[in-house]
Amino acid sequence: MTVNLKLNELVSGIKNSAKQNRGQVLISKNNFNKEILNCLYRNGIISSFTFSDDRLFFIVSLKLKNLPELSNLRIVSSSSRRIYMSFKQISKNYKNTDFFIVSTSKGIFFTNEVFFLGLGGVILFDNLSYN
């Protein structure tokens, strides 16, 4: 399974659950999803993620206060078009209060970690809406 399909499944699963005000969602178990879920957990966006009984899925528990943020997620980079930004470009296009995930050579990081560490990388997804 390619990285883009994994990312599509993760983002659409979380986004749809948040829109329907469900507290949990099943996400397929793989290392890429685990790293993103760990990043979201580390930063308090989700309350937990555990293995399902058959150990094929992660059961992700969403925080109710974060449902509005999660319902507007959009994928920025695709497998055919990676959006790489240096830290200078990130700080110009995003604020430290925005919601986005960046994949770097050092791992996957959330907004506040990117600004604290001054990292650039591939913007995986964010929740900004451009009207």
Arch. (CATH architecture) of 74-126: 2-Layer Sandwich (3.30)
Q: How far apart are CA 70 and CA 25, in angstroms?
A: 12
Structure tokens at 121: 């990388």
Q: 11-31: per-residue pLDDT in tens?
A: 889 988 888 888 899 999 999
Reduced to 3 states (helix: H, G, I; strand: E, B; else coil), residue 50 is strand
Which residues in the chain are classed under CATH 3.30.1490.10? 74-126
Residue 130 or residue 80, greater confidence: 80
Q: How far apart are CA 128 and CA 114, in angstroms?
A: 17
CATH number of 3-70: 3.30.1370.30
Report the pLDDT value the prediction gives residue 58, as an integer from 0 to 100. 92
- pLDDT of residue 1 exceeding 60, the answer is no
Q: Which long-range contacts (CB under 8 A, 24 or more apart) does 105-108 make?
A: 107/35, 107/39, 108/35, 108/36, 108/38, 108/39
Q: At what angle do helices 31-42 and 3-19 cross, to 10 degrees?
A: 40
| pTM metric for this prediction | 0.87
pLDDT band of residue 106 (cuts 50, 70, 90) is very high
Which residues in the chain are classed under CATH 3.30.1370.30? 3-70
Report the pLDDT value the prediction gives residue 129, as an integer from 0 to 100. 62
- pLDDT of residue 131 exceeding 50, the answer is no
As a whole number, the mean pLDDT across the chain is 88
